[in-house]
Structure 1
Amino acid sequence: MARVLLTREAAVLLVQQVMQAEGGDEESSRVLDRLDRALGCPSGYVSGLIFWPERPEPTAADVVEQALAYRPVAL
């Protein structure tokens, strides 16, 4: 999984866009895929942080911080 260049601030703005349901389903899906790649997460990880959070009502910055903290498990 290759990372793409994206600043933390840009990632927060993209998460806000998804959280506020700006754009359609296809656009949100593209944004979530881009965030997963840019933040080094497995597919669907950022979506899970947004739509099924561990804590109630995370902010966009919280979601980005959690995604940046992701570390794969070595098997």
Structure 2
Amino acid sequence: MAKKQKSEATKSDPFDRIARLLAMIAVKNLEKEEAARRLLSVGFDSPQIGGILGVGPNFANVAKSRSPKSKG
């Protein structure tokens, strides 16, 4: 009999799960574009941000390109 494959959630590292949970808490009251920019700034990649925010994997890249440019 073949073994059942584990789902992605059960394969993940416990520290990764904790990081995702903390990220969700940290950005829970922000608009999704601002949340994506903040998560990018602390090292999450686009697919991870998509999973955290419940959007497509390319959403973070689009949000980054739409960010207001600083004058200076």
TM-score between the two structures when normalised by the length of structure 1: 0.38
Larger radius of gyration between Structure 1 and Structure 2: 2
Higher RCO (CA 8 Å, separation ≥ 6 residues)? 1
TM-score between the two structures when normalised by the length of structure 2: 0.39
